[in-house]
A and B are shown apart, each in its own frame.
Chain A
Amino acid sequence: METKKNISRRSFLTSSALAGGGLMLSFSWLTEARAAGKTEALNLANQWTELTGYIRITPDNVIKIMVPNPEFGQNVMTSLPMMVAEELDADWKNVVVEMAPHDNLKFGSQFTGGSMSVRTYWKPLRNAGASARLMLCEAAAQAWGVPVSEITTKAGVLSHAGGKTATYGEMAAKAAAVPVPKNVKLKAPKDFTIVSRSKKNTEGIKVVTGKPLFGLDYRQEGMLIAMVQHPPAFGMKLKSFDASQALKMPGITGVFPIRLFDEGYERSAFDTRTFNELVVVVGRTTWEVMNARKKLKVQWEVTTDTKEKVKGWSGPAREEIVPGGLESTASQLTQMQERAKQAATVLRKDGDPEAAFKGAAHVIERTYNAPFLAHNTMEPMNFFAHVTPEKALLVGPLQAPSLITGTLAKVLNIPVEKVEIQMTRMGGGFGRRAYGHYLVEAALISKKVNAPVKLMYTREDDMTYGIYRPMYTATYRAAFDADKNLIGFHVKGGGIPEHPIAANRFPAGAVDNYLAEGWEIPSNITIGAFRAPRSNFNAAAEQSFLDELAEYMGKDPISFRLDLLKRAKANPVGKNNEYDADRYAGVLELVRDKSGWGSPAQAGKHRGVAAYFCHNSYAAHVVDMVVRNGEPYVEQVTSAIDCGIVVNPDAAQNMVQGAVVDGIGNALYGALTHKDGAAEQTNFHNYRMIRHNEAPKTIDVHFVQNEIDPTGLGEPPFPPVFGAVANALYKSTGKRHYNQPFRPEGVKI
């Protein structure tokens, strides 16, 4: 890895003629590789040393654009090529796209997550397109003996006022010999003809005709199917097993244990330790392996505390103690209540909050709870692996190939150059596929059986062997003076095993006396990123709390928030406030206007509003709820989003609508609970997912029109849905709901 890094730090740009006269351009700009804007926990910008765009033009003027990031539904197979094609002045009709190979040197970090794909590649990919365009112009100028400044381009055609024209394809070979230009000028947004114009999903036809796009669809000659048997509960491990019955089943070729990490292994930031030892069943077909696995006789035992070394992103490894034993949701809730009473880490303090609360005329205090959530991607975890002495080939769905390559090399004890990962389309990710333990499992299995293997999880495996959204709680307190002015704000949040608090977010900066604290309880249940990590809880709790404060103050909930933002803008309290008060207010104003908030026409509706800032973008929703057959039903939603320039508006609208549906579903129904370490929900019959009949009739999406570089969209619309649903629920039922899911079905939380 070191060698690669060193080379990659040298910014470079090359071009070379392809066999057949095509032009291949590879680009890299170190500086643009950095994501615009601030970084978050999942933001890997400081790890990224370069980005590379990749264009091929054939003599018949077909333009192939390589897509660096794997697709999981966020539309990168369309939106990223649009950015290249825009600056290239390509004819979109002639553009084909292809998932790039995993090659950090050429394509940068190739990380799908953190709402970063468009934001990160915004400049590098446009630079790639603009540079290629200039080289084509230069080639035409030389061929025609005219100044390059007189060449114009449009829809893949070069023209000169003298009457000469040529397609990009005709000039491609000549252009390959042109020195690569430096400091190319990019278009102003007003000149865009592809970006900001809706383009259809480039893989749409493959999706609707059932082409084998996904990891589970990938096959190779002689490939075996493998499944793993994991312990039935967190806090248990393998003791012994009897394979004799399973081995007698038809089609079974092997039953054996694997161990992911040896003792003393230093885990990197995305290495997970859910279950380190698994029993593997390998056979010819899926059904045979499923049946044979049922015949395994395995003895499990309860774990004791273990010490682990966690390396994280950098620096020396720290020691982490993973508690042994079996945890249950009920006891965890009690544990959290007890822990919440004790001292916590101060994350931010402005003014004198203690004095403000002591002298307050009135204090409002509320506690919010939320359960673990399973990602439940429709395509369960799976990966193909073929490990030979020459190399380890891995093919399948994952968000973060670069985060697992080093781990694979270490575990397989081979040089990192011998690890090849190919990315397929993913049947959903939502953060789950950033954790590549299933590649390690697949690779170890392939190595053991010395054959190509497809590891697949059943739905039950996927749900009960998860990397869940953590379990959270937070107590919010607000202090008022005798005139009902908000004079103090205090949030103390905790979680299993990490707290959710984002101390520098709104309303930090808007209240004179402010205190944010966090505490954590370690657990052996594994957690990870889940669409808008932490924010997906904060927005629910805080936005519901603000609603209650507005009510107490006799203020309209939108006006109340706008007043706070005005204060944060004019005279901000404290330092490091993460949000831009104007953009935050902008989405609230837009959603207010578009929803007809407060207008007589909307009177009588049970409406809830919420707004949130995360992943560099701003989102606000107004949710209209009715009670239908005794069940809360969100009938209509109005959404306002500021994510800067919207690259593919129709697809962006789809994404926001999806985030709203996802948010409603998780807020009302989502929960993964445990009893004695075992997940109580195992499949879709007892993990309730939002369905067609529960989706709103309309979701009107409005984007703030501006020329700010794109700031990300996959996550930001999701968190405030929870808060808006909570507030609408209060309006429609008269009762505040503090515990998620708001509509539990036989699930106590």
Chain B
Amino acid sequence: MATFQLKINGKVRKVEVDPSTPVLWVLRDHLNLQGTKYGCGMAQCGACTIHVDGMAMRSCSYPVSAVGKQAITTIEGLSANGEHPVQQAWLEHDVAQCGYCQAGQIMSAAALLKGNPAPSDEDIDAAMSGNICRCGTYLRIKDAIKSAAKK
């Protein structure tokens, strides 16, 4: 067990966990931030995507000991009430079916647009292909990313 001071969604949160604990489980089990989802536990599906200093990161495979002073943003911290352009675009295109993967998709998309405000289809494929949607909403996700890029 070790104590960590984590910068999460603009607040410093203190947790006492084993250093090997993935950030995903720190968020879900210790900080009651349930928006970040468990999908595979091996960085293959993207459901657990968060931002670490603005970069998309699979939190299921990212130990808490590696975070250090970097700022973590989760879906709950992306905006106060869903005003982020990517969230708005998701609503506009009514993307979700079951919705389970969508927090991860949104976090990947937001990180993509931050670095590349006008992505091509190929850029979107490259950035998003690590995020699986079992319901098959890929076309709407792509449309929503393009809409968000214009906002």
Contacts and interface: CB of A to CB of B under 8 A. Distances in A.
Interface of A: 71-75, 200-201, 203-205, 207-214, 216-217, 219, 225, 250, 285-288, 376-380, 425-430, 456, 458-460, 650-651, 654-655, 657-662, 665, 683-685, 689-693, 695-699
B45 interface: yes
Given A378-B98, A459-B39, A658-B135, A212 B91 contact: no
B116 interface: no
Contact of A684 (B20, B25, B36, B40): B40
8 contacts: A208-B75, A286-B29, A287-B18, A427-B100, A654-B95, A654-B140, A657-B139, A692-B131
Contact of B128 (A212, A692, A698): A692
A208 B96 contact: yes
Interface of B: 1, 17-18, 20-22, 25, 28-30, 32-42, 44-45, 47, 74-76, 79, 81-82, 87, 90-91, 94-103, 106, 121, 124-126, 128-142
Given A657-B136, A662-B135, A685-B44, A208 B90 contact: yes
A713 to B, nearest CB: 12
A428 B142 CA distance: 21
A692 B94 contact: no
B136 A660 contact: yes
B129 to A, nearest CB: 5
A219 B140 contact: no
Chain A interface, DSSP helix/strand/loop, else mixed: loop
Nearest to A699: B139
A225 B29 CA distance: 10
Given A73-B98, A658-B97, A691-B129, A200 B91 contact: yes
Interface of B is mostly: loop
A73 B97 contact: yes
Contacts of A379: 37, 39, 98, 100
Contacts of B35: 209-212
Contacts of A377: 98, 100, 134
B3 to A, nearest CB: 15
B132 A378 contact: yes
A427 B37 contact: yes
Contacts of B96: 73, 201, 203-204, 207-208
Which 4 A-B pairs give the minimum distances between C-beta atoms? A210-B35, A661-B136, A427-B100, A73-B98
A212 B29 CA distance: 13
A210 B34 contact: yes
Contacts of B40: 459, 683-684
B81 A209 contact: yes
Contacts of B129: 691-693
Q: Which of A208, A650, A658 has the most CB of B within 10 A?
A: A208
A204 B90 contact: yes
Contacts of B134: 376-378, 428, 430, 662, 689
Contact of A658 (B21, B34, B45, B136): B136
Contacts of A661: 136-139
Contact of A286 (B28, B76, B94, B100): B28
Contact of B132 (A205, A285, A287, A689): A689
Nearest to A212: B34
Given A73-B99, A684-B44, 9 more contacts: A208-B106, A210-B35, A213-B99, A285-B25, A287-B18, A427-B100, A689-B45, A697-B121, A699-B139
B98 A216 contact: no
